[in-house]
Amino acid sequence: MESTVQQKPLGNTGIMLSEIGLGVWKYSGGVEPLRRGVELGAFLIDTAEVYRTEDVVGQAIKGIRDHVFIATKVSGSHLRHDDVLRAAEASLHELGTDAIDLYQVHWPNSSVPIAETMKAMAALVDRKQVKYIGVSNFSTQQLRRAQAALPNHPIVSNQVLYNLNAREIEDELLPYCQQHDVTIIAYTPLDDGRLAVKSRWRRQQGMTVLEDIATQTHKTLAQVALNWCLSRPNVIAIPKSDSVARTEENCRASGWRLTQEQVARLDEAFA
């Protein structure tokens, strides 16, 4: 398979993941864009029970399961022990596979003790239905509590909102995850497409600098915005695309790097 997408470690598991993955929230592209992404080396596909896209992911990975790393999530409303086990069974069925590579708690739920949820997550690993455990939308404090409730299995990832326009994780969460070998999976890395298109109505400094660097690097706005995410240690990005062409564009955000000066200009412009 041709491959343009570079890889980064998943926590300290020894597993290497594509630094560009394929997100399928609000996805309606069918099988082809996912298949094309995998061909280009974006072999991480991220879904969730609440997205209702596990079935199309299952169709896309038929015959190529060994080449794909499947991440899915248990809903924040299914975090009681037995509900977690049932949700995992349903996801396995939808995906048409016998193991989930990365199973993530989609949202924290303060009404369910985290220890109860994590006990079920650990049981799924022990049963070999799940390989690795992750969380999503967890603050630093919530992540610490989850880690403390899971003494025998690492939490390898935290999937959170991160892009040039949404940088809150840089204050505390990103440094904590970098220090503790927790991979950040950045969702909505193009800010719902706002970072991917020129607009004569939005002439703020950030977009002007983004356009300038895109011209310098002979890349698209989306590719520069994604590469900026990838310039952070421990960070991989999962843009969504409903088209083969846009999937190819996103995959080509990998395989090269912005200079330190270009990263610093973007940091300042989007401060």
Strand, helix or coil for residue 35: helix
Cα–chain center distance at 192:
14
In sequence order, the β-bridge partners of residue 102 are 71, 132
Along the 271 residues of the chain, how does pLDDT read in single tens digits?
A: 466 899 999 999 999 999 999 999 999 999 999 999 999 999 999 999 999 999 999 999 999 999 999 999 999 999 999 999 999 999 999 999 999 999 999 999 999 999 999 999 999 999 999 999 999 999 999 999 999 999 999 999 999 999 999 999 999 999 999 999 999 999 999 999 999 998 755 557 899 999 999 999 999 999 999 999 999 999 999 999 999 999 999 999 999 999 999 999 999 999 8
Stated as kind and residue range, the H or E segment containing 267 is helix 260-269
Strand, helix or coil for residue 114: helix
With CA atoms as reference, report the closest residue to 147 among 174, 173, 172, 115.
115
The pLDDT value given to residue 199: 72
Q: Is residue 215 part of a domain?
A: no
Interatomic CA distance for residues 117 and 43, integer angstroms: 28
Q: Is residue 188 part of a domain?
A: yes
Interatomic CA distance for residues 107 and 261, integer angstroms: 36
Identify the sign of the CA torsion 9, 15, 18, 21. negative
Predicted TM-score (pTM) of this structure: 0.96
Q: Is residue 270 part of a domain?
A: no
Burial, 241: exposed, middle or buried (Cβ in 10 Å; 0-12, 13-18, 19+)? buried
Identify the sign of the CA torsion 106, 109, 113, 114. positive
Is-contact 196 221, C-beta < 8 A? yes
Q: Is residue 216 part of a domain?
A: no
With CA atoms as reference, report the closest residue to 230 among 53, 17, 2, 3.
17
Q: Is residue 66 part of a domain?
A: yes
Instruction: Return the amino acid letter for 108.
Output: P
Q: Is residue 136 part of a domain?
A: yes
Is-contact 224 217, C-beta < 8 A? yes
- Report the CATH number that the domain containing residue 72 is assigned in CATH: 3.20.20.100
* Torsion on CA atoms 34, 40, 44, 50, rounded to nearest 10: -20
Interatomic CA distance for residues 38 and 50, integer angstroms: 23
Range of the domain at 144: 7-196+222-256
Is-contact 247 33, C-beta < 8 A? yes
- Domain count across the chain: 1
Q: Is residue 157 part of a domain?
A: yes
Interatomic CA distance for residues 201 and 116, integer angstroms: 50
Q: Is residue 131 part of a domain?
A: yes
